[in-house]
A and B are shown apart, each in its own frame.
Chain A
Amino acid sequence: MDAGLHHLIDAAASHGFCFATTGTQRWRRSRRKSETQTPGSETEEEEKGLIKPPSSVQIPLTNAVSIIFLSLVDQQLLEQSSVHSAQGERGEVFTEGSAEKSAEPVIVSTRSPRGLESSSGSQHFDSNVTQQLKERLRAARSKAGSLQQEESSSLESGSRLQSLRHRDTVTRFDRETDPDTAARPHRVPFDLSTRVKFRESRRQSQTEKGLPSAEEAYNFFTLNFEPDPPEQAETIGRRRQKHKNEAEDEEEPEAEEEDDAVDDNQDENPDQNEEAPLVQDEEEDLFTIQQSSQDFLEVRKAEYTGYRNLVQRERERELLFTPSVGTVPTSVKLPENMKPRYLEDEGLYVGQRPSVSQNNQNQMENRILKMEEGKKWFGDDGRILALPDPIKESSTRPPLFHMEEDLDPALQTVHRTAIKSEPAKMYMMGAADPEGDYRLDVDVSGLVFSHHPLFSREHVLAARLAQLYDQYLSRQHNNLTGHLTDKLNGLRRALRNILEIHGGQNLSPAMQQRISEYSQEVRDTRQLRDSQQEKDRVLLKNIIKAWKDMKDLREFQKFTNTPFKLYLRKENVDQASDEHDHEEEILAEVMELEVESQEEYQRRLAQYKKQLLEWKLSRKKQKSKKKKKQKKRNKGQLQEDTDEEEEDQEMDDSGEDLPKPEPPERPDLGSLEQMVREKASRIRRKPGDAILIPELSASGKITASELCPRAEVSRREEVMRRSLFVKILYNDKEVSRTDSRCLNTDFRVHFGQIFNLKILNCPHSINLQVFEESGSSCSLLAQVFVPVPDSSVLTGGVPLEEIEFSCNQRVMFDHEGVGSDVPLSFEADGGKRITLLTSGKLSCCVSWGVGEDDVPLAPPASQRHSGTHSGRLDAVSYIGASGLYDMKKIADWATQSRLDPNDPKNVSIMQLLKVASSGEVTAPDYFRLEQLQEEFNFVMDEEFRSSRRFRLLQLRNQEVAEFRNYKGVPSVEREVDDKVFQVYERRLKDGEMIHTEEHLDSHRALVAKYLQKIRDSVINRFLLAKHHFLLSDLVIEEEIPTIGILGINLFKLAEPKRPLKPQRKERKKVTAQNLSDGDIRLLVNIIRAFDVPVRRPHSNKPGPSPQGAVQGWDWFGGQVQVRPFVEVSFQRTVLQTTTADGPNPCWNEELQLPFSAPNGDYSIASLQSVKDEVFISIFDEVVYETGTSDRDGGTSVQTTAQKHWLGSVKIPFSTIYSQSRIDGTFRVNTPAVLLGYSRERSHAHSGYDVLRSLSEGTFITLFITIEPHLVPGESIREKLKEVKFDSQEDERLLQAAVKFERDATQSHPDRPCVTTVIDLNGKTVFITRYIRPLNPPQELLDASPNNPQDAAALVARFVSLIPSLPDRVSFSFACDLWSTCDQFLTLLAGDEEEHAVLLCNYFLSMGKKSWLIMGTAIPEGPTAYVLTYEQSRYLIWNPSSGQYYSQYDTFCPLQMVGCLVNPDNVWFNIQEYALPMRMSFDVTRANQWKPFFSRSFSHPGLSSVQPEELLYRRTDRTAATELQDRIEKILKEKIMEWRPRQPTRWNRHCTSTLKHFLPKLEQSGGRDVAEAHRHELQSMLGDNRISGFPLHLPFSEVRPIVEAVYSTGVHNVQSSNVEFALAVYVHPYPNNVLSVWVYLASLVRM
């Protein structure tokens, strides 16, 4: 507390230094006086105290007030000011103030700090309080002493002490802050002017009734919390020192501390509640004695800070600077002894500062103060300099009202399209002359100044001399004088000759005329010569004079600037001859002159006489009529007598006083000679004088700069600085410029540059601008316009021209340079001033360029005067646009208009005409878009055709099947193998030539050809479609989950985690492209088989029972039925299962077969066209004992295992691929009769018995899939839909069909729905048009007239006998072309749909209710079946096999029913299930079948595309027999071929038996004959072990038959004693449908 007090005093002293000397006493007095006053009146006092201080103190006082006031806001400022101002007066203040100020805390607690004054009016200041406080002070001192000690040990003591003391203040005074905290923010802002602040603070103090704000109170206390020693006297000195230090050091920590204090203050405010009573009390109890020091002090344990922490903190303090957020006192921010100046207060406008948070501002200020020269950032008012807030609250832009309507039309935006300016291509002739590049060569050779501002006087003279000399030279060169002299001599001679010849007499008038002409000529020539001679003379004189001047000047200035030197060469002449010449000349001239003067005299005399006469006449008239005397006197004029009268009259009329004419003087011949001599002496050298020939040479020495006076040196330096360049402007655009060259001392500049300008636009002007550079400045000296050369002016043949230029710029120098446009005199007296302008000569030349091959790059001369070519005719107007293609007309026009053949514009026409005139005039009869195409062909067409390599590339590019993925086309022609084309060419040939041997039937050959054509067209479409991509082909995109899927997913969440019946999970699909050979395997899971035929006991008769396998196994269960195993072959890989036992074996084995795609191409398209099939055959393993051997005493039985074919299933790979898995039970194709085997069950049933169909045949359960899961290639199908086909259907119907299909696909994507199909012509046809009752062959109906079932079965059999399209696989379901029934029967080939349609049509005609089923079956995939309704049962017919199934047949291959079709309508299956067993076929139910034609869209009455009736050809039996023989022959050959090692013996007997038997099989349809047949065979063959079976096939070609035989493996019997039997039977049905039976048997003799 003591320290606190101390500080208080300190502060008071600082403020109070104003009154410390003068005011304190008064202050105290007044305070005493007002002791008794109420606090209310106190404020008045206080104001008085403030307002009425002695004038001497006023300024410091107000200063103090302001400082104090500021301390409200800024504690540090206060402290600072105290530090600064308290230095001097402290001593005195303390002695008094110690007692006085010790009460300060109390007083201040109730006052604002302005309340220094208020304290002056305080009445609480009485002695007992003082007393009391003194006691406290003492206590506090003792404590402070202990604290002092701590301080010495701790660097942080100050702050710790403060925090301690701060505690005190908090406990003491903070309760008052409560009402104040809210007010503080208002008070704090700096924005308020001091005046306002002052007012406000006063109001606050009033309203608060003397309660100090927490801050104020706090300030007063904290400010003094310097760790001062309590004893003032002792510590003063020390403190001073400290202050000095702290003034610099402690600003910051203190600011922090105080800041902390403020924070604490605020924080603790809410906690003050418990102390509230204390506070309440205090107001009254403050002055009671009971208030002891412990109220001010709080005793707490000594705080200890670890050494390490201290050190660390120390370090941190060294390194880190944390700007405090505390406010900075104004005085710190201002220069020393400056008080803040508020511009606002002085009435100046100060803008509003941008708002910055106080903390940031404080931090910034603190930071800035730390910087060097930080104070410059603060303004006069002690705040950071800031511009006014730039943000305006209101928009400064005038608002735009009524956007569209009221806009001033003048302000309306008008859009104008940009106009491209066409370059004036005067020389661009267009197509006629595409490379019309013209070139102008501008040669800028050099520059000579005849005057330049930097000329010295000597230069001026030298220039004049040079000029004169040049003149002289040119005169010498022209030698005009000599010419004229010669001419004169010649003329004189001629004249003399004439005169001599004629002797001066009897001159004819013509002669006289000539003589006068000659003499005239002589006179003129002489005058000319004289003038020239005079000029020569003057020039020579001038030269000499200039030289003299120059010499004088050089003499005068004592240095030489120019190298010119003039020599005068004297050419001595022979004195005598020269004088003679001279005299002669003079004499001649005198003579001439005499003659001339004579003539002149005569002429004038004549004139005089005439005039005189006139005069006399007039006189005569005037005087009287008697003038006849006068007349007589003038006798010579007699002839004119008659005229006299008239003349007189005239005289009378004209005037009276004509002057009397003077008679002409006689020429003075003597003076003439004198004159001539004078003249001669003037213009000619004296005779005998030497001829002076001046010679100007530049050989003189220029005085070196060192020897020159300063002015000259600076001139020379100036000259060095100058440089010149020339800009070339073409059509007022700068196109080029020369290099900048220095000015030589002789003021010549050599550029020597030639610029080639490529010309596009017609040249209007060529301008050379001479620029002078002096240092960095550059000025235009002169412009030289060069004329555009004529087009005949070509580079190389043109001399350089010197073009003079001058510049009227006024230039003056203070050195020797004479300047320009400045009067200049060479006379001593300054007379004869001359003014010289900068001038010079630019030598340059402009000419047209010459191309590489000497072609002038100049525009045609005619071009620039196109107006003159008025004779030219416009082609179009002359012959008309259509005539332009007529050669003759063009030629006519060309001759008419006299085309200039050299005009590049006409080149094309001339060429055309030349071509036309050379041959007959014919325009080509073809039109070519790109005539130049040939130029770009990189090989000739023939080469292209003949090259095998190119052919190979071409074929591959066309995706011809053989070359589609051909790799590595050789790089050179010779490496192409000839064989590559063999296959392809053979195929091409095959297309035209049919192997009759293959087909055995010409009709079928034709059909095959036709099919091939269809196939090709289909392939083309297919290839087209393949290049048509859908988004799904390129981008995998997640389907948008529909509500249904979401629901299912939600449902799945509730599913048990491990369901009891686990389901197959979808495998991850693999895109096929990434695969390679060996990656794909075919998984065939063979599960079980039903009803495998069992072995029949070898013979019924027990007789000589051979030791056979059958017996060998007899012991086991009495009878060994069968030991079947399954063999799966695919792509030349054959795998087999283990052998199982019994007719219903269960293998449950998985076989993995590798798959390799053709050509290693694993693209979808390639995989889809894989034609390989998976063969699954069931064999019976039969073990025979072939013999025993007793080799080692013991007997060993040798056995051979034979496999007997029981049946097979074949599944195309494409089906597996497109369905991704095949899971089901399949009917095994078993031969109708299996020798040695029988069914277990008896076939007692007949008719449509459920059991019958159940038991019919052998079945095998399979699961086939591809590992990994390949993405099925559905895309082609989708794509084909994109390819639009033509249609003759109604557009509305088509749209409905598309919509129907789309809806169906959306609701049941897996169910096939077909409404429109494509017929053989590639047109879309509605499907119902195909269904129409059609008559089956009558034969079939006749066969069983009484039994409709049999008839139906027979019809079905007939249909199934029509072969399927051999390679339907390659287009799977996609490219379905539906043929009509008659086409089908003609072609005898088609796929399932055609079969089904035909069967359905037959059934309809037979009166059955039947439908076409579009569905999915195994193994075919999407296919078509036929549904019939008979005897209240639904039957499903497989048209390809002729089999029929009941609806509830579990082995029915039809797995899914998509839609039903009959002639009237199409129904789509919208039932839950699509398996025939689980669904209803009642199409009338609308909730199960969705009809295409409904009430809303009724059937438009579509006519059928089918013929009304089918016509059948009778079967050609002889052809059938022929075919039968050929097949038999071929097969026998083949079997022998397959058995190359063993001999193949044919058992004729057996063969014939079998042959008899086959027709029976045919008749029975392969049923119910086995037993009888077996018996027959048995009886016939006796003890031969026989195994064999008949194969039944529809006939299309021989090859499938051969393959089928091969696949049974009958030929594989190895035993030596085997015999074979082969019988073939071909049964003809109407329309060339053939049923082929092949009976194969092997007989082993036992």
Chain B
Amino acid sequence: MSSGNPSVFLLSVNGQIEGANFPEYDNLYCKYCYVYGHDWAPTSGLEEGITQITCKGSQASHRLIWNFPLETTFKSTNPFGWPQLVVSVYGPDVFGNDVVRGYGATHIPLTPGQHKRTIPMFVPEPTWRLQKFTSWLLGRRPEYTDPKVVAQGEGREVTRVRSQGFVTISFHIMTKDMKKLGYDTGPSSSANPHTASPGWSTEQQPNV
């Protein structure tokens, strides 16, 4: 690509799903995937993944640790449909059935740098009480048809959810060529658009 006139900008997402806080549950694992608009395309890295199962330590801490790395780079021509990270947590219930323990989503941070996000998680509620009981008994709780539902606003009004816990995610964001395309997300004092050489905006490229 010609350095002067980029046609796409890049968004590099590094980070990790650090852990979760689900006071009531144990032995959980986490799935993640990205939801992004039409103009976005992942260029490298895993778009979705699944963590190991982790259980709480015997210590007083109730945190579940996954430390699952996220490394994805997106390219896009349009900030519309900025990627969102969708996480869903699963774990066994008392009968050993794998049930969902929480859904949550967050936008990838817009600004370059380090960010930490704590995503509140929730699960859909059964429509009525008997169903709640049977779903508990059969180990088949209501789930979203698609975890990506939580990243969209449309149609959510028909669901009832209950909050569950928190998942903590740290991000390290780098962007490239955003400014050249006229999108300014960073702090105003950062790069000078005239002198900025093609390079990741958060670090100076050596010898260029």
Is the pairing of A and B real? yes
Residues of A within 8 A of B (CB): 953, 956, 965-972, 975, 1027-1031, 1033-1038, 1040-1041, 1071, 1073-1074
Q: Indicate if the CB atoms of A969 and B38 lie closer than 8 Å.
A: yes
Q: Indicate if the CB atoms of A956 and B77 lie closer than 8 Å.
A: no
Residues of B58-81 contacting chain A, CB below 8 A: 76-78, 80
Q: Smallest CB-CB separation from B154: which chain A residue?
A: A1027
Q: Indicate if the CB atoms of A1071 and B146 lie closer than 8 Å.
A: yes
Number of interface residues of B (CB under 8 A): 35
Residues of chain B lying within 8 A (CB to CB) of residue A969: 38-39, 77-78
Q: Indicate if the CB atoms of B131 and A1038 lie closer than 8 Å.
A: yes
Q: Indicate if the CB atoms of B124 and A1035 lie closer than 8 Å.
A: yes
Q: Indicate if the CB atoms of A1035 and B7 lie closer than 8 Å.
A: no
Q: Smallest CB-CB separation from A956: which chain B residue?
A: B38
Q: Smallest CB-CB separation from A1038: which chain B residue?
A: B140
Pick the contact of B155: A965, A966, A1027 (CB < 8 A).
A1027
Q: Indicate if the CB atoms of A967 and B144 lie closer than 8 Å.
A: no
Which 7 A-B pairs give the minimum distances between C-beta atoms? A1029-B155, A971-B77, A1037-B142, A1038-B140, A1035-B124, A1031-B158, A1035-B142
Instruction: Fill in one digit per residue for B141-169: 1 if any A CB lies within 8 Å of its CB, else 0.
Output: 01111101100001111110000000000
Q: Indicate if the CB atoms of A971 and B144 lie closer than 8 Å.
A: no
Q: What's the least CB distance linking B53 to chain A, in Å?
A: 21
Kindly state the separation between the CA atoms of A975 and B41 in the bound complex, as whole angstroms. Answer: 18
Q: What's the least CB distance linking A422 to chain B, in Å?
A: 38
Q: Smallest CB-CB separation from B158: which chain A residue?
A: A1031
Q: Indicate if the CB atoms of A1038 and B39 lie closer than 8 Å.
A: no
Q: Indicate if the CB atoms of A1035 and B159 lie closer than 8 Å.
A: yes
Q: Indicate if the CB atoms of B78 and A1035 lie closer than 8 Å.
A: no
Residues of chain A lying within 8 A (CB to CB) of residue B38: 956, 965-969
Q: Indicate if the CB atoms of A968 and B39 lie closer than 8 Å.
A: yes
Known: A953-B80, A956-B38, A971-B8. A1034 touches B155 (CB 8 A): yes
Tell me, yes or no, whether B9 is within 8 Å of chain A by CB.
yes
Tell me, yes or no, whether B50 is within 8 Å of chain A by CB.
no
Residues of chain B lying within 8 A (CB to CB) of residue A965: 38
Residues of chain A lying within 8 A (CB to CB) of residue B140: 1038
Q: List 6 A-B contacts (CB under 8 A).
A: A970-B77, A1028-B155, A1029-B157, A1034-B158, A1035-B124, A1035-B143
Q: Smallest CB-CB separation from B157: which chain A residue?
A: A1029
Residues of chain B lying within 8 A (CB to CB) of residue A1028: 155
Kindly state the separation between the CA atoms of A1027 and B149 in the bound complex, as whole angstroms. Answer: 13
Q: What's the least CB distance linking A943 to chain B, in Å?
A: 14
Q: Indicate if the CB atoms of A967 and B155 lie closer than 8 Å.
A: no
Pick the contact of B9: A971, A1027, A1034 (CB < 8 A).
A971
Q: Smallest CB-CB separation from B155: which chain A residue?
A: A1029
Kindly state the separation between the CA atoms of A1034 and B142 in the bound complex, as whole angstroms. Answer: 10
Q: Indicate if the CB atoms of A1034 and B156 lie closer than 8 Å.
A: yes
Pick the contact of A1037: B5, B80, B127, B155 (CB < 8 A).
B127
Q: What's the least CB distance linking A1207 to chain B, in Å?
A: 41
Q: What's the least CB distance linking B19 to chain A, in Å?
A: 26
Q: Smallest CB-CB separation from B130: which chain A residue?
A: A1040
Q: What's the least CB distance linking B85 to chain A, in Å?
A: 17
Kindly state the separation between the CA atoms of A1074 and B143 in the bound complex, as whole angstroms. Answer: 15
Known: A1027-B154, A1027-B155. A1038 touches B145 (CB 8 A): no
Tell me, yes or no, whether B52 is within 8 Å of chain A by CB.
no
Main secondary structure of the interface of A (DSSP, over half): loop
Kindly state the separation between the CA atoms of A1191 and B159 in the bound complex, as whole angstroms. Answer: 80
Kindly state the separation between the CA atoms of A975 and B2 in the bound complex, as whole angstroms. Answer: 14
Residues of chain A lying within 8 A (CB to CB) of residue B131: 1037-1038, 1040
Known: A953-B80, A1040-B134. A1034 touches B7 (CB 8 A): no
Residues of chain B lying within 8 A (CB to CB) of residue A1040: 130-131, 134
Known: A1035-B144, A1040-B131. 19 other contacts (CB 8 A): A953-B78, A965-B38, A966-B38, A968-B77, A971-B6, A971-B7, A971-B8, A971-B181, A972-B7, A1028-B155, A1029-B154, A1029-B155, A1029-B158, A1030-B158, A1034-B145, A1034-B156, A1037-B127, A1038-B138, A1071-B146
Kindly state the separation between the CA atoms of A901 and B142 in the bound complex, as whole angstroms. Answer: 68
Residues of chain B lying within 8 A (CB to CB) of residue A972: 5, 7, 181
Kindly state the separation between the CA atoms of A1130 and B155 in the bound complex, as whole angstroms. Answer: 35
Tell me, yes or no, whether B126 is within 8 Å of chain A by CB.
yes
Q: What's the least CB distance linking B78 to chain A, in Å?
A: 6
Residues of chain A lying within 8 A (CB to CB) of residue B126: 1037
Pick the contact of A971: B41, B78, B143, B145 (CB < 8 A).
B78
Known: A967-B41, A971-B8, A1027-B154. A1071 touches B145 (CB 8 A): yes
Instruction: Fill in one digit per residue for B123-141: 1 if any A CB lies within 8 Å of its CB, else 0.
Output: 0101100110011001010
Kindly state the separation between the CA atoms of A1029 and B158 in the bound complex, as whole angstroms. Answer: 7
Q: Smallest CB-CB separation from B48: which chain A residue?
A: A1074
Q: What's the least CB distance linking B139 to chain A, in Å?
A: 9
Kindly state the separation between the CA atoms of A1570 and B36 in the bound complex, as whole angstroms. Answer: 62
Known: A968-B38, A969-B39. A1041 touches B155 (CB 8 A): no
Kindly state the separation between the CA atoms of A238 and B131 in the bound complex, as whole angstroms. Answer: 83
Residues of chain A lying within 8 A (CB to CB) of residue B5: 972
Pick the contact of B135: A968, A970, A1031, A1037 (CB < 8 A).
A1037
Pick the contact of A1035: B138, B145, B181 (CB < 8 A).
B145
B7, B76, B145, B159 interface centre (most CB from chain A within 10 Å) = B145
Q: Indicate if the CB atoms of A1036 and B148 lie closer than 8 Å.
A: no
Instruction: Fill in one digit per residue for B1-35: 1 if any A CB lies within 8 Å of its CB, else 0.
Output: 00001111100000000000000000000000000
Kindly state the separation between the CA atoms of A1130 and B204 in the bound complex, as whole angstroms. Answer: 54
Residues of chain B lying within 8 A (CB to CB) of residue A970: 7, 77
Q: Smallest CB-CB separation from A1041: which chain B residue?
A: B134
Q: What's the least CB distance linking A131 to chain B, in Å?
A: 71
Q: Smallest CB-CB separation from B149: which chain A residue?
A: A1034
Residues of chain A lying within 8 A (CB to CB) of residue B6: 971
B38, B41, B76, B156 interface centre (most CB from chain A within 10 Å) = B38
Residues of chain A lying within 8 A (CB to CB) of residue B80: 953
